[in-house]
Amino acid sequence: MVRQTSDPRPRVGITAVGSALPDAVVTSGSLQREATRGIGKVLPGTLLTQATGIRTRRVAAADEYASTLAVRAARQALAAASLDPYDIDLLLFASASRDMVEPATAHMVQAELGTRAHALDVTNACNSFVNGIDLARTMIQAGRARRALVVTGETPSRAVRRAPADFAAFRDGFAGYTFGDAGAAVVLEEVTRGGIVDVDTETRSEHWDVGGIPGGGSRHPRGDEHTYFRGDGHELRGVFEKTGTSVVERTLDRAGLGWDDFARVLVHQVTVPYLERFAELTGVPPEKLVVTVPELGNVASASIGVQLHRVFGELVPGDRVLFVGLGGGISIMTMIWEKS
């Protein structure tokens, strides 16, 4: 049983889920050939696949944006919940991607959906979506909202360096070649049992410069060079391994739960080797995982939402799911949700 304290706040749960994937499929082989065409060095043709375990990823078309994918996923979630857009009074666009710096992408999503909710963006790299769920939960508990729609639309493929000038640039942007595009959405509202029963976070902001997209803010407002993802994947992995496993252990201990108590464990997925290492360090049984990274790549904050949508229909009331979010910055987040 999850350890419960006396809490007068209402229970809040996830009652519907949606996801969206672009139609275009790009293989790792074709992406590697494109990226290495002008670097002046011959690399093994399967280097990207072998290093990451990623075979394919979905890539948004030129006329598809972060908001496009978010709207598609949102419509699925609303339909699954048999809700009208006007039933939503809080809309959070929670994503590492956005349509533009200003205004908030949540307004573009809202204009397309036809909702009239309080709308804003939540941004925390690949943890954005889980952060958005947590924020929506607390606003409902505080009486600031009755029913929330949390959406993400991720288009990190826009930040992939498709034509690096040399091998150094290819290596600097290598982590970006894991990216794929996707959208996800959840409806949150009060429930009579279960719901989100535990949340934990840990932030190590001293590692903020390990990886990211530097352009678009006040430090680098202009210049295409700043719009590409760059980062040290090995350093990021090291921080996640050291800190992330301790947060998971702390969460399980506080809740009084073991792996057998969870129907599924949804982990942000960067590469296959990292996911395997996570399972090794934490002891989570592989069959509890929902593995999407070989076919979809790293879809940033949409990762956990897409996984949840794939298994939502097979879960029964009382099933518990552990979310493990990992985000640049660096932040780690866990959430225990029980289906109502």
- Which residues are the active-site residues? 126, 268, 298
Cα–Cα dist 333/303, whole Å = 14
Q: In this structure, what are the phi and psi dihedrals at residue 87, rounded to the nearest 5 degrees? A: -75, -10
Spacing of C-alpha 291 from chain mean position: 14
203 sits in the region (left: phi over 0; alpha: psi -120 to 50; else beta) called beta
Cα–Cα dist 300/279, whole Å = 19
Q: Please list, in sequence order, all residues whose beta carbon lies within 8 angstroms of the beta carbon of residue 102, skipping any fewer than 6 positions away.
A: none
Cα–Cα dist 304/266, whole Å = 6
Task: Please give the angle made by the CA atoms of 286, 290 and 295, to the nearest 5 degrees.
Answer: 110
Cα–Cα dist 324/52, whole Å = 20
Q: List residues bridging with 148 in a β-sheet.
A: 90, 188
Q: First and final CA of the chain: distance in angstroms?
A: 15
Other C-beta atoms closer than 10 Å to the C-beta of 27 total: 14
Q: List residues bridging with 103 in a β-sheet.
A: none
Spacing of C-alpha 81 from chain mean position: 22
Cα–Cα dist 292/270, whole Å = 10
Beta strand 195-203 pairing with 118-122: unpaired
List helix spans (H) across the chain: 28-35, 47-52, 66-80, 105-113, 128-141, 167-172, 233-255, 272-282, 293-296, 302-311
